[in-house]
């Protein structure tokens, strides 16, 4: 891929736990517009953040070029999901919420998905609680 100079979009979530310095060197040689990683389990936090921070440092990529799928409503609490989302934002990656069992998920997970995945909203409203407060007020016609 690097030799062809074709632009590659990694749309599947690359496993950050398997990311080594050698793999980072290879990825740096490939022309990419966007790279997707995945963070499904809270117990992987240390390795995920360590490898992602190294990737960002080595490539210079920021949230415009790095998206991280965050599986929510699976084996984490809502607070743990928020923690992962905010950690990703704080280190310079763009989280992308994927709700497990969307049909049966609590409405708050769908609201979280809407908040995070609409980048303009996520970048302009610092936390989910502020978003839900303004979002519901707008919905009820109390704002504006």
Residue 8 has what pLDDT?
Answer: 84
The gap between the terminal CA atoms of the chain, to the nearest Å, is: 51
Residue 22 has what pLDDT?
Answer: 96
pTM of the model: 0.88
pLDDT at 141 over 90: no
Phi-psi region at 81: left, alpha or beta (left = phi > 0; alpha = psi -120 to 50): alpha
**pLDDT, tens digit, 9 for 90 and up, residues 100-132:** 999 999 999 999 999 999 999 999 999 999 987
**pLDDT, tens digit, 9 for 90 and up, residues 48-94:** 999 999 999 999 998 889 999 999 999 999 999 999 999 999 999 99
Residue 137 has what pLDDT?
Answer: 55
Cα(59)–Cα(131) distance, integer angstroms? 32
Residue 142 has what pLDDT?
Answer: 46
Cα(48)–Cα(31) distance, integer angstroms? 23
Residue 134 has what pLDDT?
Answer: 66
Tell me the pLDDT band of 139, cut-offs 50, 70 and 90.
Answer: low
Tell me the pLDDT band of 143, cut-offs 50, 70 and 90.
Answer: very low
């Amino acid at each position: 891929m690097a030799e062809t100079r074709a632009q590659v979009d990694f749309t599947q979530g690359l496993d950050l736990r398997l990311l080594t310095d050698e793999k980072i060197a290879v990825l740096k040689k490939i022309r990419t517009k966007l790279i997707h990683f995945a963070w499904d389990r809270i117990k992987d936090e240390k390795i995920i953040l360590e490898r992602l921070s190294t990737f960002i440092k080595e490539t210079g990529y920021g949230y415009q070029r790095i998206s991280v799928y965050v599986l929510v409503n699976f084996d984490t609490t809502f607070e743990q999901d928020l923690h992962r989302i905010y950690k990703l934002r704080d280190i310079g990656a763009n989280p992308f919420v994927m709700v497990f069992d969307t049909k049966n998920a609590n409405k708050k997970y769908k609201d979280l998905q809407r908040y995070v995945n609409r980048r303009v909203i996520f970048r302009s409203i610092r936390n989910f609680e502020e978003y839900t407060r303004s979002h519901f007020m707008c919905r009820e016609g109390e704002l504006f």
